[in-house]
Structure 1
Amino acid sequence: MIKIWGRVNSVNVQKVLWCCDELGLPYERIDAGLQFGRNNEPGYLAMNPNGRVPTLEDGDFSLWESNSILRYLVMQYGGAGHPGSGRPAAGHDLYPAEPRLRASIDRWLDWTLSTLQPAERSVFWGMVRTPAAERDMPAIQKAADACGKLWQMLDAHLEGREFAEGKAFSIADIVLGAYCRRYLGLDGIERPALPRVQKWYEGLQRRPAFQRHVAPALT
């Protein structure tokens, strides 16, 4: 059984847990990070010198960076055509092999790390992990406005689409959906109209794995 090190309220851990559930993949999760510590201990740093979560252990193989973990899980365990899967193809392929489609999925995974997460971070920390009396609401709203412009990019992209890329649910939807929860799920900020994002997100909310790992209250 694989091990996933990380706390359940980390968006990057949530992505990995969501993916595991979509694959029907058993795992053991071990609390690490923030109040749980462990991520700065020598044993953890030997697996992940960044000292962040999540970290994946699969036998003698360890891997860090959440989006890389998603790719690995699907390639290793995601169905027929993937080495080591030992199972028939599932109803959909979370990470299709066709080069243009895979590159399009990778684009969104890279975009969340390079562009969306840095913009989102101050909004989330300001509204969820800062006491209400200490919040700098003008600064938070300014950051939320910047996030809104990024989500408008996805809203335009979703014209005529049910999923982020291709005709099926993929790890692009997992990654974008986890961050969307942190944006649409916040009270107290103003957001632009995002009708296509809202419809897409409502579809994600119906997935059992989303309900288990991403829907719980933000903390």
Structure 2
Amino acid sequence: MLTIWGRRTSSNVQALMWCVGELGLDYQRHDAGHRFGGTDTPEFLAMNPNGTVPVLRDGAREPIWETGAILRYLAARHGPEAFWPADPAARAVVDQWAEWAKINVALAFTAPIFWRVVRTSALARDPAAIAAGIAKLDPFLDIAESALRNTAFLAGPNFTLGDIQLGHVLYRYFDIAIDRKPRPALRAYYEALTTRPAYRAHVMISYEELRALN
């Protein structure tokens, strides 16, 4: 049994929960962080000294923190060959897309764009900063668009861990009120993800509780 600490509206927790759902794993999740608090207690800091979510404990094993590390652990322990290949070269292709998506797309979107659009009041919102954030994110989404013109998923024909790291960002990217370049391949990829039950259950979640009061 997996035990997970983290609130449903955390994008990093959503990536983890989507993976758990895709792999069909049993879990118990405890709300932590944001309005739930609990991440600064001695008990939580003993599991993760950073005081961040998610944190995962697999049975009696030591807790694991950092979303990418947790996802790779679950993929290696529970994922089928298509999702996380045993061959090091094939696995590296999946892993490079996962790292690319987290370091470039997720980081370029979450604080520079999503926080400024949703978690900032209308009076304090900075349209120029939002536009600059979109301009910085665009080249990375162009890379995804180019890759997805030729294949169903980032790393090839199969759904992999790389898609978890990119796809969990796309719900909010396509949902919030911002200017977006037309990217038909990326849009079709996103629309296909929205048909996956685990994506709908764990990623397509209201973020209204995060919205700043105007």
Q: Distance in 2 between matches of 1:197 and 1:98?
A: 28
TM-score (ref. length: structure 2):
0.91
What is the TM-score when the length of structure 1 is the normalising length?
A: 0.89
Q: Can you list the C-alpha shifts for 1:56-99, whole angstroms capped at 9, x where unaligned? A: 011232101111111111222235xxxxxxxxxxxx63211222
Runs of 5+ unmatched residues, structure 1: 80-91
What residue in structure 1 maps to residue 32 of structure 2? 32
Instruction: Name 1:97's counterpart in structure 2.
Output: 86
Distance in 1 (CA, whole Å) between partners of 2:101 and 2:153 is 16
User: CA contact under 8 A between 1:116 and 1:147: conserved in structure 2?
Assistant: yes
Q: Which runs of 4+ in 1 moved over 6 A?
A: none
- Once the two structures are TM-superposed, the CA of residue 5 in structure 1 deviates from its matched residue by 0.5
Q: Quick check: 2:101–2:162 contact (8 Å CA) kept in 1?
A: no
The answer to whether residue 176 in structure 2 is matched with residue 186 in structure 1 is: yes
Q: Could you report, residue by residue, the CA deviation over 1:136-164 in whole angstroms, capped at 9, with x for unpaired residues?
A: 11211211121122101111111210011
Q: Residues 147-191 of structure 1, C-alpha deviation per residue, up to 9 Å, x if partnerless?
A: 12210111111121001112211111111001122212211x111
- The CA distance in 1 between the partners of 2:76 and 2:176, in whole Å, is 34
The aligned residue for residue 66 of structure 1 is 67
Percent identical among aligned pairs is 40
Tell me if structure 2 keeps the 8 A contact 1:145–1:191.
no
Amino acid at match of 1:40: D
2:171 is the alignment partner of 1:197: no
Instruction: Please give the alpha-carbon distance, in whole angstroms, between the structure 2 residues aligned to 1:166 and 1:175.
Output: 15
Give the partner amino acid of 2:76.
Answer: M
**Mapped partners of 2:69, 2:145: distance in 1:** 25
CA RMSD of superposed structures (Å):
1.4
Structure 1 residue 3, shift from structure 2 partner: 0.6
Letter in structure 2 aligned against 1:154: A
Other structure's SS at 2:28 match: strand
Does residue 76 (structure 1) correspond to residue 72 (structure 2)? The answer is no
| Code of the aligned partner of 1:111 | W
SS at match of 1:166: coil
CA contact (8 A) 2:98 2:163 kept: no
1:145, 1:199 → 2: CA distance? 22
Task: State the distance in 2 between where 1:185 and 1:101 align.
Answer: 33
Distance 1:33 1:198 in 2: 31
